[in-house]
Structure 1
Amino acid sequence: MIYINPEDKKIKDALDKHSKAIYCLVNKKIYGITYDCENKDHNNDSCLTCKQTSKLRTAVKEDIISFLKINLKNIIVNKPIQLKNRQNIFFEHFILGFNDLELDKYLKCKKKKEDDRNFIEKDIFNRYDSIFTQIKNIFNYDVFTDTSKNYSAYNLSSNLDISTCTYCNRLYTRTVINPNKITRPEFDHWYSKSKYPLLALSFHNLIPSCHVCNSSVKGTIDLSLDEHFHPYIDSEKIINDEIKFSYYNKSLDTYGFSMTHSSSKAKNTIDAFKIKEIYKTHEDEIIDLRKIRDTYSESYLQNLSNLYKGVISEEEIYRLAFGVYLEEAKFEKRPLSKMKKDILIELGIIKNGKE
């Protein structure tokens, strides 16, 4: 997993742009033409998000409108640790007898045909569904992914500017937005949007990731901040110290990855995203690193450093030699940076993070 530093200027700027656009999007859906845009230009003209958004065709309950009037900005910008509590407060207020166990039962019985639901399931469905439907309509993620909109998932990913998958650091997830919106990372909902619809457009709940991690691996797995790392919370030092790549001999000239961890959160994170399993496709990288170690000895980088001393920096030599970044804060810029650094340290080619 790659740490996303919320104090980085580009992340702060992305949060600011996201919060302004989503605030207008949601309010325009609720109030329609009566909403007075908060992001008007110098000509006192409404923003494009407001111009492109129409009022919902179905009415929103007045008490929901009142709740969002007070809480909407917090729902959009709150830190991960506050988000789940924010939704729980909402549903406890609007759904009689709300609790996590009933919520899980609602999600299960929703998949059933009406005639197949028993009495208890019908009761749960009737209490939950109307509120869930209204919230899903208001915080509609599909609208956010519409490429025709002035502000969409493409803009968020471009503003975040994170080059590789946050979860696995295996694949590039760069955004191509000009001249057309061509490709971007998927956004994983840390708290799944099916279970946490109020958080479907919350900034810290939208994690840029590759398709494998978002859809094939994680899906709707219920993650917990107490049991898993979160890229906006757990620092790069914690993540990189507690999760380590290693290797072992499968046969004479073949190798496999192994993972070490120093906490239950680290282990749960490795397991949830199947890091060990998906890295099997990169076992040939170990062969290449071993060849360097066996051919040039542990002094490989030192020899290169002596050769190009005064010409290029040690960090540049490392990047040119192995195609990845040495600094942990730059791991997101190149795929496999975390894995290669861990293996190179184990091979003795770099020591204590340096050559």
Structure 2
Amino acid sequence: MFRARPVAMAAALASVALLAAACGSGGGQEDGGGPWKPDRPIEIIAPAATGGGWDTLARTSGRVLEQGGLVDEPVQVVNKPGGGGSIGWAYVAQTPDTPTRLFVTSPPISLVPLMGGSVYDHEDFTPIARLATEYMVYLVPDDSPIGSWGEMADLLKEDPRQVSIAGGSSPGSMDHVGLAGAVNAAGIDPTSINYVPFDGGGEAMTQAVGGHVDAVVTGASEAAGLVESGDLRPLAVSGAERATTLPDTPTLQEEGVDFTFDIWRGVMGPPDMTEEQVAYYEGLFSDMTEEESWKKQTKGLGWTDSYMGSEEFGVFLDESSRDSADILTRIGLIEDGEGR
């Protein structure tokens, strides 16, 4: 019977121990038994093209984390556009042993899977923190003959297909639902509207400015720059109150439409993160929201602070998914009980 020599056996056991330690570190390190922290650059995935809300959140977060000295490693923002977010989610889900790879998120993490656009939903990832909330805005090019939300609604009632409205997410996702819910509340069949999807709010607004579509729906913060430059003209916002960045723009309720839609924004990580890894990021993003630079930049974007830690955010995501299924059913985009 073969027996390993003691020296060889000791070397083999040492190799196994080193391999186990490497696998367990998952891109982080514990100094002298201390808490886990990353030992390589942190990636924040924006599951859309540049210029949209996800991209803005990822880059704002990365900038504040680095400039505030809150991280020892650099923060890299990586854009993974496509599929209303599903390409980016798959990228994270397929590397579950990479806890240094996070992604920014919002309502599409519930909406897109319900519409069959992704095999992954919020339950496949680890909630880290909810950070902020904002509203949607409905806009037209500045030279558009459409003067108000009411005028656009009248045109849609006359013929829903005659007004093309762009959004930066796939059918059944955030921008589409924010539009469909509003027109449904205005007495228009939401399944008949001419919604034109693009990969991100930036691209959708570019199409509107270029005259390729008649209107656009996007997050209020995304549109602020093009409104200020005079390229786009806002008709209404989806909040219960006017957006701080668009104080002269009426709410849908002021326009006689009983509908509101919040865009929450947060951060999630890969599946199977350890408690230590979650605790590190939860504390990191909590500290980030206390930075004056974060408060200043988010105020300028029109975002409202709505921080939640990991556990509370997880409960919120479950509720948000149920609410998403309800609204998709009400506006006729899925049948009751459909979805993942």
- TM-score when normalising by structure 1: 0.25
**Which structure has the highest helix share of the two?**
1
Q: Which has the higher strand share?
A: 2
Normalising by structure 2, we get a TM-score of: 0.26
Q: Which has the higher contact order (CA 8 A, sep 6+)?
A: 2
